[in-house]
Amino acid sequence: MMDLNEKFLSMALGGIEVHELATLPKIELRVDTSCHNLQVTGEILTSLEYLKLNDSVIRCFRDIGTSFKNVKVLNIARCEISEVQGIQAFESLEELYISFNQIGDLFDISFLENLRVLDLEGNNVKENGQMYYLRRLTKLIDVNFKHNPIEASCDYKKLVSENCP
């Protein structure tokens, strides 16, 4: 018998049975985490590698939960995110597209050991010291800081080249 969260998820996905979702590798959702808990969703979508949540209402990563362990690509643009605490739960993450939010602190992103692509366009990174956290991302090959206050720094290009592997 389906619990209430499974029933809601099945209805939201056009009647697809919950057991069928366990093999789904990619999904695009628009959610408001102040109304819906995504923890159960991650527990059901166990094979998920690509998650797109653009234009959702997600104030912080703790609202998503810790169950999306296999996600390699996360698109989470324009979601009102102001901090990235809790992003470490995405332990397999290789590509993070987190543009047009309000992120200013990159410390927690530095724990994403497999990260290759980081898109922070249109955020609020303004302190030169934030670039230092990128040094830990030894697999990083593509980074985007367009339209962040730090881009106006006279040392911007030097900061990127010195801190990105």
pLDDT digits (tens, 9 = 90+) for 111-155: 999 999 999 999 999 988 898 999 999 999 999 999 999 988 777
Q: What is the pLDDT of residue 15?
A: 66
pLDDT at 41 over 60: yes
pLDDT at 165 over 80: no
Q: How many residues does the chain have?
A: 165
Model confidence at 9, pLDDT cuts 50, 70, 90, reads low
State mean pLDDT over 43-71. 90
Q: What is the pLDDT of residue 148?
A: 94
Q: What is the pLDDT of residue 44?
A: 84
56 exposed, middle or buried (CB, 10 Å; 0-12, 13-18, 19+)?
buried
Q: What is the pLDDT of residue 90?
A: 94
Q: What is the pLDDT of residue 101?
A: 96
State mean pLDDT over 33-49. 84
Q: What is the pTM of this model?
A: 0.86
Half-sphere exposure of 113 (CA within 13 A, CB side): 3
How far, in whole angstroms, is CA 41 from its chain's centroid? 15
Angle at 40 between CA 37 and CA 42, to 5 degrees: 105
Q: What is the pLDDT of residue 43?
A: 84
State mean pLDDT over 74-102. 95
Model confidence at 12, pLDDT cuts 50, 70, 90, reads low
DSSP letters along 77-110, please?
Answer: -SS-----TTGGG-TT--EEE--SS-----GGGG
